[in-house]
């Protein structure tokens, strides 16, 4: 399990106009895009085309490799497949259906599939752009700048710092189990994983106590020193203004045509 944190550090910290934006701008943009997309009715197909075009335009600006982004976007696939499984059962809305190769698909069901798939795609690609162009400390600073309660930002930054360490510790214990012939296949083998997690808890708690005592002895009083300063520049106003303007115009047009 070594190198598990490739999830977060696989990112090529390149330089692009998007990388240079203030983290608050990027956080607000993702939030706005997700909120606008979710609130748009699925029948307004052209609106989703505009949203997608905007997302992929920003993706191009950020110079992120398309394959990498799409591979990470696969995380939403299980949910879309789960909904797709229910498709034939949606015909009670009396909305008509299509026959495709002997399988009956209801129109209402297909509409719901399109609805969840396109909205999930837009928002997950936006989130991937955010995390691929922003370092974790920047993200935390951005959240602080947006007045997220400090207990969450502090807990999150500690979790980020130690979570992967514990993950690799768990990986080490798993290798130890495997080398001693553990090959759990069935639910009744799961107990041993419980022992592993118990050992992980005791170790991480011991570490937590050491970290805490070390911090207090160095004068920790509840705030983290040495934060990166935030800088909301002209480019941020321009980006956020353009995005919100576009989203607003599209949404109003959808509402008028409905």
Partner 1 sequence: MHLPDGFLDGTTALATAGGSATVLTYAVHRTNRELGDRLVPLLGVTAGFVFAAQMVNFPVAGGTSGHLLGALLAAVLMGPWAAVVVMTAVLGLQAIAMADGGITAFGANVLNMGVVGGVVAYAVFAGTRRLLPDSRGGFLSAVALAAWLSVVLSAGAAALELAWSGTVPLGVGLRAMTSVHMIIGIGEAMITTTVVGAVLATRPDLIATLPAGLAAALEPGALEGDPEGLRAGGRGRARLGGFVAAALAVSLAVAVLLAPLASQEPDGLERVAEDEGFASAEKESVLNFTPFSDYEFPGIEGDLGVILVGVAGTLAVFAGALGLGRLLSRGHGQTATDEGATPGGGAEPGAGRGAGPAVGRVPGHGPGHGVLGHRHSGHEHASTQRDAG
Q: Please, which of residues 213-232 interact with partner 1 by CB under 8 A?
A: 213, 215-216, 220-222
For residue 228, give the nearest of 167, 136, 141 by alpha carbon. Answer: 141
CB of 234 to partner 1, least distance (A): 26
**In DSSP terms, which residues pair with 103 in a beta bridge?**
100
Q: Does 45 bind partner 1 (CB under 8 A)?
A: no
| The two three-digit tokens of residue 87, written as one number | 């498709």
Q: Does 11 bind partner 1 (CB under 8 A)?
A: no
Q: Does 50 bind partner 1 (CB under 8 A)?
A: no
* Contact with partner 1 (CB under 8 A) among 52, 61, 154, 253: 154
Please say which residue, 71 or 234, places its beta carbon nearer to partner 1. 71
CB of 14 to partner 1, least distance (A): 18
| The two three-digit tokens of residue 145, written as one number | 């700048």
H or E, element range at 53 = helix 45-61
CA gap 204, 162 in Å, rounded: 9
* Contact with partner 1 (CB under 8 A) among 166, 230, 235, 253: 166
* Contact with partner 1 (CB under 8 A) among 2, 20, 65, 104: 104
For residue 133, give the nearest of 48, 225, 246, 29 by alpha carbon. Answer: 29
Q: Does 247 bind partner 1 (CB under 8 A)?
A: no
Q: What is the dihedral of CA 76, 78, 81, 82, to 10 degrees?
A: -110
Q: Does 257 bind partner 1 (CB under 8 A)?
A: no
Task: Tell me the window of 59-67, 184-192, 231-239, 243-251 that interacts with partner 1 (CB under 8 A).
Answer: 184-192
In this structure, the number of other CB atoms found within 10 A of the CB of residue 230 comes to 14
Q: Does 251 bind partner 1 (CB under 8 A)?
A: no
CB of 61 to partner 1, least distance (A): 19
Q: Does 34 bind partner 1 (CB under 8 A)?
A: yes
Tell me how far CA of residue 227 lies from CA of 23, 44, 73, in angstroms.
Answer: 13, 44, 31
CA 87, chain centre distance (Å): 26
CB of 96 to partner 1, least distance (A): 4
């Amino acid at each position: 399990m070594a190198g598990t944190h490739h999830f977060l550090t696989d990112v090529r910290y390149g330089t692009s106009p998007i990388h240079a934006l203030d983290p608050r701008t990027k956080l607000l943009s993702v939030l706005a895009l997700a909120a606008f997309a979710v609130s748009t009715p699925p029948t307004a197909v052209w609106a989703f085309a505009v949203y997608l075009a905007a997302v992929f335009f920003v993706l191009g600006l950020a110079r992120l490799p398309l394959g990498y982004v799409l591979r990470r976007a696969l995380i939403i696939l299980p949910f879309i497949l789960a909904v797709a499984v229910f498709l034939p059962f949606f015909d009670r809305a009396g909305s008509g259906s299509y026959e495709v190769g002997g399988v009956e698909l209801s129109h209402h069901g297909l509409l719901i599939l399109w609805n969840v798939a396109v909205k999930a795609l837009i928002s997950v690609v936006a989130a991937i752009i955010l995390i691929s162009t922003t370092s974790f400390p920047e993200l935390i600073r951005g959240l602080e700048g947006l007045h997220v309660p400090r207990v969450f930002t502090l807990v999150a930054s500690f979790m980020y710092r130690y979570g992967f360490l514990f993950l690799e510790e768990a990986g080490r214990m798993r290798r130890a189990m495997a080398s001693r012939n553990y090959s759990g296949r069935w639910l009744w083998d799961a107990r041993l994983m419980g022992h592993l997690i118990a050992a992980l808890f005791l170790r991480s708690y011991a570490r937590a106590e050491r970290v805490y005592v070390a911090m207090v002895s160095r004068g920790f009083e509840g705030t983290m020193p040495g934060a990166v300063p935030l800088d909301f520049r002209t480019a941020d106003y321009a980006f956020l203004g353009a995005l919100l303007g576009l989203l607003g115009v599209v949404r109003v047009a959808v509402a008028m045509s409905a």
